[in-house]
Structure formats: structure tokens, C-alpha cells
Chains A and B, each alone.
Chain A
């Protein structure tokens, strides 16, 4: 089919939306199902899982809270644990400051729904992507997460074990998006910095390797950025 690019303005964004959201669905549906199942097993009403997935929408924190709820821990430790696990999300906003749509409702929703996967997908969208497209892909991913939780809460163990390995789609998604980021940036420096940071984090605090390595990477990025800015200034002002 040889349709000139200008003749298909509506189709390309929808195709992009699906091709970005399907891998997330393959991860969110089984993982959401496991969460919904575990929470019911721990003794919660079935609808609490989907409610948590709707409002909290933070995979790792939701998994973490299941044993805490089962043990009846006070709310303060739950708040602190959520804070530690989701600390990395601060840095997602930092790199999206100039990318989110300006409509307040779109910004508010995207900030609320800023999971690891939505961050990845939003950074993968072209800069000219419409507000509807950005919100659409985030909301579709949010929907997969809730749907998975409902399925897990209602269907139970048999459905969650039938999917062994399919959530590897998320690892493949991150790999593919890293390749595309590299293609756009044409530099290995962020990859090398991330590799070293993760190795250090594995030694220092393996249980929180992601949080620690992101903090280290941001610190390294600040140092490198300052250095680059100083060089640019020197080039612009040689005296």
C-alpha cells in the first residue's frame, strides 16, 4: 500500500498507540492479575485490589503492601515504604517537564499515572504527539493494569500461573525503547553511567537497587551536565 504520509493523519498515531500499549498490556495484565489474586488470598474484599490499581497505580508499591496489610501494620510504615519505593518517580517528572501537554487536566492525569512503563512510553512518543495520543496511551495502560487486577481477583490462582514468562514483554519493551533512545541521542554515556550505577547499587543495597541506581545516575548526570555547560560557556566566551 502506498499511501502518501499526508493522507493518513489519523491512522499513524493509533497504530503507534497500539504498538506501544500492547507490550505494556502483556506485562500489566499478568502482573495485575497476580496482585489482585495475592490481595484476595491475603484476605481482602475482591474489589479492593482493582480500587488500589485505579488510585495508587504503582506496581512495586502495590505488591509490597500486600504482606503489610495482611500483617495489619499501621499506616505510617505503609506511607514510608511507599515513599521509598516510589522515590524514583521524582526524576521521571524532571525529564518530562518540557514534554507534557499544557492542558491542566492532561498534565494532572499524566502526573498521577506516571508509572515506569508510562514514563517509558511517553518518552518514546515523538515531540509532536497530540495531547489525545499521550493521554490515550497512558489511560489505556492504566486500563490494562486495572483489568488485570480484576481478572486476578475474580479468577484466582489458575489464571495467574498460566502466564509464566509473558510479562517478559516489559523487559523487551524497555530494551526496545532504550535502543530507540540511543538512536536519537547517539551517545553511550548514559548507558555506561547507568550500568556502573546499577552495579554499585547491587553491592550497596540490592533490595532497593532501582531506587539507589537512579539516584546515583541523576547525581552523575548533574555532574556531567555542569561540566558540559561550563565547556559550552568557555567555547562561547574564549577570553
Chain B
């Protein structure tokens, strides 16, 4: 059993830590906003972080998939090609996810 009061304290502590981390740059904004370097970073980071989130999510998915990495690579390749050609995010995501779910659930691909 997890004691409820203890769990409530843990949730409170985690909330404070998480919100403070997320708020830190905004609290420091009056100083940061004047820096051209921060502006430059603001242009550089989104694509870099999106790439990192993609890599990390793919790795997590591969780690939980006994069939190996090819299923993730094929499905993500389909998403990238579809998005590159059609520019329709929902279509690209739905087709790639459906393909991956088939890979994971049809015994033929296991």
C-alpha cells in the first residue's frame, strides 16, 4: 500500500520542482530577452530538440520491441516521406502509426 498523505506530498514536491524548472527562463526573461545570443538559440533549438525527441522516442520504442529496430525505422521513414511529399501532418502520422501497430500486432512480422 502507498500511504495517501505521503503520495500527496510527493505529488506536491514534484509539481513545484517541475513548474520551477519550466518557469526559470521566463523568470529570467528581462535579462535573457536583451541577449542576441538567446534569440539565435531560439531559432536553433526547436529543430535540434525535435530531432532529439524523435531519436529518444524511437530508441524507447525499439527497446520495448522484441522484433528489432527495422519496424520503427520503416514506419518513421514512411512518416518522413509522406510529410515531405504531402505536408499533411495528420495523414503522415496516422499512416505511420497504423503501419507500426500492424507490425507490432500481426504475428507475421514478429
Asked if A82 and B13 make an inter-chain contact with CB atoms under 8 angstroms apart, the answer reads yes
Q: A94-B42, A98-B42, A210-B52 are in contact. Are A172 and B97 (CB under 8 A)?
A: yes
Asked if A166 and B22 make an inter-chain contact with CB atoms under 8 angstroms apart, the answer reads no
Within 8 A of B (CB), among A64-93: 65, 68-70, 72, 75, 78-79, 82-83, 86-87, 89-93
Instruction: Tell me, rounded to whole Å, the shortest Cβ–Cβ distance linking B73 to chain A.
Output: 11
| A151 at the binding interface (Cβ < 8 Å) | no
Q: Which residues of B contact A228 (CB under 8 A)?
A: 40
A-B contact count (CB 8 A): 266
Complex Cα gap A52–B76 (Å): 31
Q: A70-B2, A86-B17, A213-B52 are in contact. Are A168 and B22 (CB under 8 A)?
A: no
Complex Cα gap A204–B71 (Å): 27
Q: Which residues of A contact B13 (CB under 8 A)?
A: 75, 78-79, 82
Question: Which secondary structure dominates chain A's binding surface?
Answer: helix
- Most chain A CB within a 10 A radius of its CB, from B15, B29, B38: B15
| A111 at the binding interface (Cβ < 8 Å) | yes
Asked if B24 and A90 make an inter-chain contact with CB atoms under 8 angstroms apart, the answer reads yes
Complex Cα gap A100–B37 (Å): 19
- The answer, among B26, B75, B96, for a CB contact under 8 Å with A111, is B26
| A155 at the binding interface (Cβ < 8 Å) | no
Complex Cα gap A70–B6 (Å): 11
Q: A90-B24, A97-B29 are in contact. Are A174 and B50 (CB under 8 A)?
A: yes
Question: Which secondary structure dominates chain B's binding surface?
Answer: helix
Instruction: Tell me, rounded to whole Å, the shortest Cβ–Cβ distance linking B66 to chain A.
Output: 11
Instruction: Tell me, rounded to whole Å, the shortest Cβ–Cβ distance linking B63 to chain A.
Output: 10
Q: Which residues of B contact A171 (CB under 8 A)?
A: 54, 57-58, 61, 72, 75-76, 79
Q: A43-B1, A166-B97, A209-B56 are in contact. Are A92 and B44 (CB under 8 A)?
A: no
Asked if B93 and A164 make an inter-chain contact with CB atoms under 8 angstroms apart, the answer reads no
Asked if A90 and B21 make an inter-chain contact with CB atoms under 8 angstroms apart, the answer reads yes
| A131 at the binding interface (Cβ < 8 Å) | no
Asked if B22 and A93 make an inter-chain contact with CB atoms under 8 angstroms apart, the answer reads yes
Complex Cα gap A34–B39 (Å): 39
Complex Cα gap A169–B97 (Å): 5
Known: A95-B41, A166-B101. 19 other contacts (CB 8 A): A19-B90, A26-B93, A45-B4, A70-B2, A95-B43, A97-B38, A99-B42, A107-B26, A165-B105, A170-B57, A172-B96, A173-B93, A174-B53, A174-B57, A182-B47, A191-B47, A195-B55, A197-B48, A218-B45
